[in-house]
Amino acid sequence: MNDDPSGLGESPALTDFLGVADRKPRPGDGTHNTGGIPIAPAQHPGYGITSEQLAEAQRRFTNYARLRIMGTGNREYSRGSSQAFEDMSLHRLIDEMRDEIADAVNYLTFLDVQLSRWKNNLEARL
């Protein structure tokens, strides 16, 4: 059983930031290439979640998104004292956003395929 709901590797700064202090790293954990900070969204095993736990999960995921800004986003879009999007033409910004929306649709399609498979597998077991 997964005893860690966070899905994070071990890093004092990150675990303090995300609120998970006893997580041990796993072979599949990703890492931030410049700081050694593990990057992985929270995992939520099991059934049942209180409103407080849901709010905490949302906080951790928001913090994960913030870490993406400081990691991948920093490497790809930081221009020192500005961000690449600030200098993009409106047309380029729209094109970039449409690319991101297309990627999101693709990831949602991947998820839907997996959910369908999981559902079929569960139904076959019942």
pLDDT tier for residue 33 given thresholds of 50, 70 and 90:
very low
Examine the pLDDT at 116 and tell me if it is beyond 50.
yes
The Cα 4–Cα 19 span in angstroms is 12
pLDDT computed for residue 18 by the predictor = 53
Q: How does pLDDT run across 38-82, given as a tens digit for each residue?
A: 455 667 768 898 898 888 888 888 888 898 899 889 999 999 999
Average pLDDT on 9-17 reads 51
Helix (H, G, I), strand (E, B) or coil at 83: strand
- Whether residue 42 contacts residue 4, with contact meaning beta carbons closer than 8 Å, is answered with no
Question: What pTM, to 2 d.p., does this model score?
Answer: 0.53
What mean pLDDT value characterizes the chain? 77
CA distance 79 to 112: 37
Phi, psi of 82 (to 5 degrees): -145, 175
Give the H or E element holding residue 55: helix 51-68
Q: How far is CA 44 from CA 2, 4, 34, 79, in A?
A: 9, 9, 27, 36
Alpha-carbon distance of 93 to 88, in angstroms, equals 6
- In sequence order, what are the beta bridge partners of 61? none
Residue 26 has pLDDT above 80, yes or no: no
pLDDT at 98 over 50: yes
What is the percent of the chain with per-residue pLDDT over 70, rounded to a whole number? 66
The two structure tokens encoding residue 8: 């994070």
Whole-number pLDDT of residue 103 = 96
